[in-house]
Amino acid sequence: MRFEPIGIIHSPFTTTEGMPIQPAGARDVRGTVEIDPRYRDGLADLDGFSHLILLYHFHRSEGFALKVVPFMDTAERGLFATRAPRRPNPIGLSVVALEKVADGVLHIRGVDVLDGTPLVDIKPWVPAFDQPADVRTGWLEETAGGVGKKRADERFL
């Protein structure tokens, strides 16, 4: 399996310390996604969507553990029941608002990603596809309400 970045995500966050842990904590944070010129034709028709799913490489993440204490909790949880960045395949996902597409650059809002993060793929967010009706959120049902105020700390450096 081999992936090549299709672009670079730019944000105001140069270190993980104190950055939002999910887009919900970065609602007004603006950033850009610079798409490699080889892939810019693929941006056609994207400007009609209000939100995008960005898939990216956690390029500063090293190693992983199958049990972690996630940012939203104080109890140890199974890695795959969290969105912790230290993973066997360090792939991240964020849903961001698309403000505009101009000259191969996506102008986005709600970015919770480190500056310089390699972009792997873009998908339009579509409520009919991406918003299931019956949802359970496991252990997060008790803690998810505070996600907008949570910030990264040293646990996943």
Mind listing the pLDDT tens digit of every residue in the chain (157 residues)?
A: 899 999 999 999 998 777 776 666 677 899 999 999 999 999 999 999 999 999 999 998 889 999 998 877 788 999 999 888 889 999 999 999 999 999 999 999 999 899 999 999 999 999 888 887 887 867 767 765 555 555 656 655 5
Is residue 92 within 8 A of residue 44, CB to CB? The reply is no
Q: Where along the chain do its domains lie?
A: 7-146
Q: What's domain 7-146's architecture? A: Beta Barrel (2.40)
- The rounded distance, in Å, linking the Cα atoms of 85 and 126 is 25
